Amino acid sequence: MIREIKRYRSAGGVIALLAAVGCLALPGLASADAIASFHDGNRLFRDDLYWAALLRYREAAEAGLDTPLLHFNTGVAHYKAQQHIRARQSLLEAAQAPQLRAISHYNLGLNAYAAGDVDEALGWFRRAADQQQNEKIREYAFAAIGRLNAQIRTTDPILVREEQRREEQRPVAGFDIRARIGFGSDDNIFRAPSDPYIDFADPTLPIIVPETFSGTYLPVDFRAGYAINNLPYESFFGVYRMEGRFYDGDTENNADEYFHELRFGSEYDRREDSRRSRVYSAFAIAQHDEQYIDPDTGNPRISGGEEITDRMNYVRYGPEINTVQRFGNFGLGLRLKGQIWDYENAGVVPEYDHEYFLIGGNVQYKFLSSSLVRLTAEKSSRRYGSRPSFDLNGDQFITNPAVRYDYVEYGILARQRITDDMWFGFGYELLFREDRFEGYNDFTRDSYGFEFQWTPGPRFKVEMNAVYRLYDYPNAFAFNNPVAGPKTLETIDAEILATWRFNRHYRLEAELDYRETASTDTRIEYDRTRYSLSFVWEL
């Protein structure tokens, strides 16, 4: 692997050393002996006498020479002498100079890889790839990123790798395993309303005083995948994942929730220069289990004298296809999906069984390497089997036709990189839902999103996401009762995720998740905050 990277590092060795000489001139205040020792060190370096070169560089420093170029050459010599800790220290000092920052970041990546720290190496290569000072260094950095990503099977969500895919030597087959377990705190486990309210859905109009439960939970996430790469650009894969939250307490564990999914398919991904062609196809089977709970009490819901706890359990299955075509700064995407959702038969109440179809596309343009704009459009439909629709009076008679909701959504997303390790984005989505019976549950939803990511070092990363959604129901009533007035709904979702990576296999994740819902239908109005700290292991 290191031999493959070295093929692309002429700027990281002697050529990089000579190229940097033209970037900074030696200060005139340095003594003649210091400058002579420095030039003698360069000569010894070119003769592959790295230890002798280091001795001359040290003599130059002791004689009063203190320049970024001296630190850079010293760092490269330490790297060649396999003194990786000292190489890192010297290259970090050299990186403080703007003229040497890009080439220092690239060589820091080479040094980290030689020291066995692949994650740190990726961080430095990404910084070198994001800069605009030296195009040749960017090309070398992109190639190094591609080879390291092929080795550890990870991708960066923003960076677009431009190395030629045909040069990658992919393994014939490989496993990908990820496990996460942690500890969390939830201040509103059952999403109970914040204040007492009158239940206009009950003819007796009782006053409901919700009970808010808080507690701790165990977040669990496990994923295992196996891929066979028997063709140059195509792989066949199978992936299993399980996610869940398990609460502590006799009542609190009514909020336990878990999810299984098995997915298998193929992926074709070919990249050449600034072009990319990707086709992903898969068939997925998933099972979701949770209890159907009354949020006011935390107890199982009852209908007609019978518990309907299992009403929200379902199995879904179906195919999906995603494709991406990219030509330079311009990209196109297409998404197709079809699913059947089979819910548990609760007996006395209608089932939520339905079919789901989606077709969507996007157009993306990168104005610069640090900014992009993406436009999306999607159309989808949910067609229920036995769930009756509501009429314009808010009544759900069993003689009404089954529910069918059709959706059309448009979106725009803009992202801008501020520095090598920081970027942000803004998004807007407009969603129309059509209730195909009488239009009672029609709505228009405006969504405003913000995202931010900061990677201050190769091991630490902070991500923030926030979305505000405003729903406009032209026909629906709160509590489905005209007496309660028109239905309104607003939601805020915010998430902060901080990651500290120890090495390639282990990392620590701290997460804050907040949701606030405001509505004239006070049954669904609540605030909820969850905190969690998790340990993650990856193969």
Q: What is the CATH number of the domain that holds 221?
A: 2.40.160.40
Closest to 76 in 3D by CA, of 2, 10, 145 = 10
Indicate the helix (H) or strand (E) that contains 55. Answer: helix 50-62
Alpha-carbon distance 383 to 389, whole Å? 11
Residue 284: pLDDT over 90:
yes
**Average pLDDT of the chain to the nearest whole number:** 86
Closest to 432 in 3D by CA, of 412, 411, 410, 407 = 407
Q: 345 and 302, same structural domain?
A: yes
Residue 164: pLDDT over 70:
no
Residue 451: pLDDT over 60:
yes
Alpha-carbon distance 291 to 254, whole Å? 6
Alpha-carbon distance 149 to 142, whole Å? 10
For the chain, what is the domain count? 2
pLDDT digits (tens, 9 = 90+) for 54-110: 888 888 888 888 888 888 999 999 998 888 888 998 999 888 888 888 898 999 989
Closest to 478 in 3D by CA, of 470, 469, 487 = 487
Residue 9: pLDDT over 60:
no
3-state secondary structure of 213: coil
191 lies in some domain: yes
What per-residue string of b and e applies to 465-485 under the rule 16 or more CB within 10 Å gives b?
bebebebebebbbbbbbeebe
Q: 14 and 132, same structural domain?
A: yes
Mean pLDDT of 137-164: 61
Q: 222 and 86, same structural domain?
A: no
Alpha-carbon distance 493 to 516, whole Å? 7
What per-residue string of b and e applies to 380-401 under the rule 16 or more CB within 10 Å gives b?
bbbebbebbbbeeebeeeeebe
Q: 428 and 389, same structural domain?
A: yes
193 lies in some domain: yes
Q: 185 and 82, same structural domain?
A: no
Q: 226 and 108, same structural domain?
A: no
Per the document, the length of the chain is: 539
Percent of the chain with pLDDT over 90: 57
Q: Which domain holds residue 92?
A: 2-156
163 lies in some domain: no
Which of 96, 121, 156 is the endpoint of a domain? 156
Percent of the chain with pLDDT over 70: 90
403 lies in some domain: yes
Residue 406: pLDDT over 50:
yes
pLDDT of residue 3: 38
Q: 150 and 183, same structural domain?
A: no
Indicate the helix (H) or strand (E) that contains 265. Answer: strand 257-272
Q: 97 and 204, same structural domain?
A: no
Which of 109, 126, 156 is the endpoint of a domain? 156
Which of 156, 185, 216 is the endpoint of a domain? 156
505 lies in some domain: yes
Q: Residue 443 phi/psi, 5° resolution?
A: -155, 160
Q: 223 and 122, same structural domain?
A: no
Mean pLDDT of 20-44: 65
**Pick the residue with more confidence: 3 or 48?**
48
Closest to 141 in 3D by CA, of 133, 525, 447, 244 = 133
- Measured between alpha carbons, how far apart are the two ends of the chain, in Å? 18
Closest to 308 in 3D by CA, of 290, 287, 326, 327 = 290
199 lies in some domain: yes
Mean pLDDT of 479-487: 95
Residue spans of beta strands (DSSP E) within 72-156: none
AA letter at 163? E
CATH number for the domain that contains residue 124: 1.25.40.10
280 lies in some domain: yes
pLDDT digits (tens, 9 = 90+) for 203-255: 999 999 999 999 999 999 999 999 887 777 888 999 999 999 999 998 999 99
165 lies in some domain: no
Q: 512 and 402, same structural domain?
A: yes
AA letter at 464? M
Residue 18: pLDDT over 80:
no
Mean pLDDT of 267-292: 90
Alpha-carbon distance 219 to 242, whole Å? 11
Alpha-carbon distance 210 to 215, whole Å? 16
Q: 199 and 142, same structural domain?
A: no
Point out the least confidently predicted range of 159-163, 413-417, 447-451: 159-163
Q: pLDDT-derived band of residue 271, with 50, 70 and 90 as boundaries? A: confident
Q: Are 147 and 129 in contact (CB under 8 A)?
A: no
AA letter at 61? A
Mean pLDDT of 516-533: 96
Q: Are 477 and 486 in contact (CB under 8 A)?
A: yes
Residue 24: pLDDT over 50:
no
pLDDT digits (tens, 9 = 90+) for 344-403: 987 788 889 999 999 999 999 988 778 899 999 999 999 999 899 999 999 999 999 999
Q: 450 and 328, same structural domain?
A: yes
